[in-house]
Structure formats: structure tokens, C-alpha cells
Structure 1
Amino acid sequence: MAASAAYLGEPVEAPPADGISRVIFSQTSDLLLASSWDKSLHLYDAVTRLPRASYAHQAPLLDCCFESDNIVYAAGLDGQVKRYDVQTASGSVLGTHAKAVQSVVFLQGPGLLATGSWDQSLRLWDPRVAPGHNCVASVSLPGKVYAMSAGRERLVVGTSGRHVLIYDIRRLAGGQAPEALEQHRESSLKFQTRSLAVYTDGRGYALGSVEGRVAMEFFDAADAQANKYAFKCHRRNEGGKDTVYPVHSIAFHSGYGTFATGGGDGVICIWDGENKKRLFQTARYPASVASMSFSRTGEMLAVAASYAYEQGERDHPQDAIYVRAVQDVEVRPKARKPAPAP
């Protein structure tokens, strides 16, 4: 099937000029934020697909997030965590890490920003407090942070060495760092963690690896043993050889709890985790699917098509961000067929 524009989505105007590390929607509007190796943070109106603002940073950016439509955060290779005011177009340094900051997540409940770094630490920052006094918690980790995701109650951190750490957000925010660690697990996938997302219902998390697999995990120990599973995805037969691609991004649909995975093969798959079914698969994007985000209503999916250097330095298509209209049939779980009578 031809990869028509409508099928892949419509590209935004003036996309980032270098590798796109994250696209993320506001949860209160149709604003879209993108961080990039071009040392800039980009803000778009997803409906018109026009740029709204751009903020310069001193180094390539690895992640970004919204606090609100007016306040956004970004961090990257220089270890600086920056806060930007959209209305005044001003930026300030919220805090710093000794090495690159891989992940930033705003925790809406306590109103704090969580940052995870290659310096093997997790920190929580209070933007309402003056810099220098605003680090609420600092936790040493067993490895470099590779991925991070939060639900309402728990923050999950995936590090090098296949460690997965599960924190109670309330205790972490209250400065009870040692007591906040609920579980320290080893990833059930054999290879390095690449992506992570907490379930919409908060019962567990999906973990993606560099080796084209996703593990579906649960926080509750009984649930974990009975219901956890893993599956293969983002593989393609090329010249009689099975080629495996990293799972760069996992995004949950807020309405249905189904989820999308984006891979180095340039394909997006949408899954019904409850029934262990693939619901939909897109045509191939021009480059790796580096990041994805569903809009607050689930009616749009933002897709960063950006070569992620899975095969080293080589010529690759220009980076692009697509905004794709999501059809209900693509994300709605299919009803289970009743078991045949004995």
C-alpha cells in the first residue's frame, strides 16, 4: 500500500533541523512540544501544524515536557534542566546534573519536575522555589537513566544494566527517598531498555528494548506473576534475513488504554494489551519512529520520523514531525469472542 500523506499524517512546518528526541502533546490543549539535537525546543500548534515558538539551548536536547500550556521544560547533553515561560519567551536554569539528562517528567500531583541523568541519579525539582534551594530529592541509581515514565502514584525508571526502579511519588516528593523505592527489578527483556510507559490505569508499565521486544509488567506482585508477558515486534524479513529494530517509543491512548509502539523500522503498531492483539499497523515512515505522543483526546498522534543512528552514520531522510488523525477503529479494543460451549 502506498504511504499516502493522509495515511502517515500531515507534516508540521519548520521541523527541527537535527535528530528529534521527543514529541509530546499538552494534556490541556493541542499544543505540541519537540526537543531536538539541533539545540532547540520547538512548540507547535498541532491543528494548524504551524510553529508557535522556538527556544535556544546550549547543547542538544534529549527530552522535554509540559507543566502547563504556559510553562515547559527541556534538558539534554550539557546536564542543564531549563524552564521556559511560553508567554514571555524567557528561559531559566532550574537545576543541573553532572552529566547528560536523558528524561524529564512533570509530576502534576505534587507540582514537581523529575529528571533522570547519565550521572546515575534521579532528582526532583520544585519550580516554585529559588534555584539552589529547589532540589526536593536526589536519589542514586544503579546505572545511567535510559527511560522514565510516571502515572498518578508511581514513577518508573529504566537504567543501564537492565535495572527497573519503581518509586512511590508521594514519598519521593515528601523527601523520603529511601522509603520511596517500592521495587527494584531486573528487566524481563534480555537487552537494553529503550522505552518505557506507565499504563493508563496505573496498574503497570510497558517496557521496550533495543531488540524489538516489549514486556508488559504489573506493579502488584500477584498480578505480575499471573499476567505479565512479552512479545516480539518491529522486525522485518530483508533478503531472507530477520532484521530486528529497537522499540524507540511507547504511547498509551488515554481513552481506551490501548497503546502504540514506534520502531527503528519506521513503522507504528497499535496493540490491545489486554487481549494480546495487534489492532493496526501503519505504512512505513521515511525514517525511524523516534518518538510518539497521543493528544489529550486521543484523536491525534504526533510522530517524530527521525533517523536514530541504528546503523551508524549514513545518508538519511530529513527529520519530520507528522500529525496523524487517529481513527477510532485503529485504537478501540475488539470485543472478546465468547468461548465455545463445552
Structure 2
Amino acid sequence: MASNQFAVASPPTDAISALKFSPNADSTRIVVSSWDKHVYLYDLRDENGAVGEGKLLQKFEHRAPVLDVCFGATEDEIYTAGLDWGVRKIDVPSSTQTVLSTHEAGVRSVVYSKDHSLVISASWDCTLHVHLTNDPATLPAIIPLPSKPFSMSLTATKLVVAMASRALHIYDLKALALLTAQSEGTGPLNKVEVEPWQRRESSLKFMTRCVACMPDDAGYASSSIEGRVAVEWFDPSAESQARKYAFKCHRQTADDVDVVYPVNTLAFHPVHGTFASGGGDGVVALWDGMAKRRIRQYQKLPSSVAAVDFSANGKYLAIAISPGFEDGKEDVAEGTVKIFVRELGETEAKGKGAK
């Protein structure tokens, strides 16, 4: 194992579903959700302030497996989504959990928009719930979706929802915030029909596994179960749309056969705008989306890469691995669920053309 990469102490006991760094640039906290029905809060710094295997600060039990997690306005608030159908807020200092809303099926994704004080959840009941965090008295707006959501990501102005049947909706966050603020008192369900800013069909032929937005608010990348990543731009002009492209990745040759793995996770570097991908092959790669080139590929890890994220200052890359069940086995063997953190060199995640 590289000396600038270390395993985090006390990992979850079952498959990891999501991992996120604190939004604070000087923080080394990460929050992790797991199928073991817990959310874990770690600090990578030890008692002496050195970054290493770190320590588990707190563990928050849920009633069912937790499928997604994110920080809120500060690292003292955490939002979770899971198979208990609930969207929860965790207040870290008091360890209290509050149910913000309940869907009618498992909740696949949850995101927080600091620019609009919104928590948005996407559920397999084919709805979005939009919560205004600065006005807890307001009921969430419930927005129907055409099909099951698989992944969700946002920028300062837009929300991208990737769904089944290759459907993709892009919403204007300002419009969602306004709608939620005005929807108070429209009945217990609060259902509202909202026209997305854009409707798109995925450039990828197979099921979308992950979508991640560019930090400069220009577009997004999406990945599929069939070892491909697509890079697209929001600008609807023909010139901008002509720039979109897709490429093959996370494939390995075994006995002269090309074995294709799902690309489970994507994350953009907050400073350089390059992105990381993690696959069922246990490999993490860094890409320069502008130059259409791979920057580097890291050493193969013991199991499938479930989630990746960069720290807010871009200095660290966290990688969660879990059995991806690509081999048909459902048992979680010891040592197959781990969280690695890599301290990045100054130019490690820079694009090929960056100065």
C-alpha cells in the first residue's frame, strides 16, 4: 500500500452505500452510510492533529439499511436516506435524529444545496421531496418523476436526476426553492407538477449507476453498469451539445475475454475540475474530461469500489470498497469493506493541459 494512502479505522460491518467529505475546506471529517443500518462519522486526524487512520467519532443507528448520506450547511448536520422510507436529519452535537419526511418506498438519494437551503430526496416511489431547511414549518414539495431514480447530483444552480429507462431530468434549483416556499397549505401530500429545466435521454445505452456535476456548474458526468462514462454540458446550444462524448473504462481482459464492470461512482475534484471514477473491478481512475484523457489509474483494491469523494480543499481522495457481488456471492468476507484515504500530491489530480 502506498505510504500516502491509508485505511480508516473501524470501518462499517456491511457494504458501504455512500461516503462524503465535510463541506468545510479545513476539515478532515467524512460521513459514511452502510447496509449495516448505521451512519458513521470519522475524523481523519488523530488526537495529535496528524492525518492518518483517524478515529470514529460517532455512529448513528437507523431502522433499515442507509442508502445515501450528505452533510448539511455545516458538518454538525447530516442528512440520510434509506430503506426505512425516511429522510432524516442528524444533529451531530446532540446525536438526535429528526424525520423530515417519509416516502412510500426506499429513498435512494439525498442532496443538500447550501445556495438555496434545500434538502432534496429521491425515492423509488418515483418522487422527489424538496425540503426548505430555513423554514422547517413548510411541508416538503413532492414532485413526481417519470421513473425510478438511480442517482442525483447538484451544482449551485441545477439538480440532475438520473432515472430508469435512460431518463434524465435537470431542474432549476431557484425554481424548486420558490415552489417549495409557495406550496405551504396545499394539502397533506403537497404534490406539485414541475416542468424540468431540461429533459434528456442518457448518452449511455445501459442502466445509469451514478451522476456527478461539474464544480463550475457547466455540466455533468454519468456512468453505467456497462463500463462507460459520458460527459455532457448543460448549455443546450448545438455547439455545446456537439462536445458531449462517452468512453469505455473499468474493463479487464481475462483469458482473452474483455470483462466489463459497472462504474459505481464518480466525483469531481473541487479545484482542478478533473474527476475520479470507481468500478466493480476494484480500480479508481482519474480523468481529465476536457482533454478526454486518463490522468492515472491506481492500484487495484481488494473489492469493488462503492464510493469516492474529494475533500473540499482537494487535498484528499476517500475511497470506500465493498463486495459488489459481481461474483454472485452475497456474503461479506472480513477485510472486504474498507475506507482508504489518499493524500494527493500537488499535481496528482491536475488535468493534462493545466498549468
Report the TM-score, using the length of structure 2 for normalisation.
Answer: 0.90
The 8 Å contact of residues 101 and 140 in structure 2, kept in 1 or not, is answered as no
How many angstroms apart in 2 are the aligned matches of 1:201 and 1:257? Answer: 8
Which position in structure 1 is the counterpart of 2:173?
A: 169
The 8 Å contact of residues 102 and 147 in structure 1, kept in 2 or not, is answered as yes
How many angstroms apart in 1 are the aligned matches of 2:23 and 2:69? Answer: 14
Q: Which residue among 191, 195, 209 is the counterpart of 2:210? A: 195
How many angstroms apart in 2 are the aligned matches of 1:45 and 1:198? Answer: 26
Residues 222-231 or 72-81, more deviating: 222-231
Q: Tell me the CA shift for residue 24 of structure 1.
A: 0.3
Q: Tell me the CA shift for residue 46 of structure 1.
A: 2.0
Which position in structure 1 is the counterpart of 2:338?
A: 320
Q: Deviations over 1:219-262 (max 9, x none)?
A: 11224422100000000001111000111110100111001000
1:92 aligns with 2:92: no
The 8 Å contact of residues 127 and 145 in structure 2, kept in 1 or not, is answered as yes
Q: Tell me the CA shift for residue 178 of structure 1.
A: 4.6
Q: Tell me the CA shift for residue 195 of structure 1.
A: 0.5
Which position in structure 1 is the counterpart of 2:13?
A: 17
Number of equivalences: 331
- CA RMSD of superposed structures (Å): 1.7
* SS across alignment from 1:135: coil
The 8 Å contact of residues 132 and 177 in structure 2, kept in 1 or not, is answered as no
How many angstroms apart in 2 are the aligned matches of 1:224 and 1:6? Answer: 42
Question: What pairs up with 1:1-342 in 2 under 5 angstroms?
Answer: 4-6=1-3, 9-28=5-24, 29-48=27-46, 49-67=54-72, 68-130=74-136, 133-175=137-179, 178=193, 181-222=196-237, 223-314=239-330, 316=333, 317-335=335-353
How many angstroms apart in 2 are the aligned matches of 1:313 and 1:103? Answer: 26
How many angstroms apart in 2 are the aligned matches of 1:70 and 1:336? Answer: 35
Which position in structure 1 is the counterpart of 2:183?
A: none
Unaligned residue ranges in structure 2 (runs of 5+) = 47-53, 181-191
How many angstroms apart in 2 are the aligned matches of 1:23 and 1:6? Answer: 22
Unaligned residue ranges in structure 1 (runs of 5+) = 338-342
Which position in structure 2 is the counterpart of 1:340?
A: none
Find runs of 4+ consecutive structure 1 residues off by over 4 angstroms. Answer: 176-180, 314-317
Q: Tell me the CA shift for residue 47 of structure 1.
A: 2.9
The 8 Å contact of residues 78 and 91 in structure 2, kept in 1 or not, is answered as yes
* SS across alignment from 1:190: coil
How many angstroms apart in 2 are the aligned matches of 1:114 and 1:50? Answer: 30
The 8 Å contact of residues 143 and 194 in structure 2, kept in 1 or not, is answered as no
Report the TM-score, using the length of structure 1 for normalisation.
Answer: 0.93
Q: Deviations over 1:50-103 (max 9, x none)?
A: 111110100000000000111101111111111111111111111111001110
How many angstroms apart in 1 are the aligned matches of 2:154 and 2:209? Answer: 16
Q: Tell me the CA shift for residue 135 of structure 1.
A: 3.2
Q: Which amino acid aligns with 2:177?
A: A
Q: Which amino acid aligns with 2:60?
A: Y
How many angstroms apart in 1 are the aligned matches of 2:268 and 2:86? Answer: 29
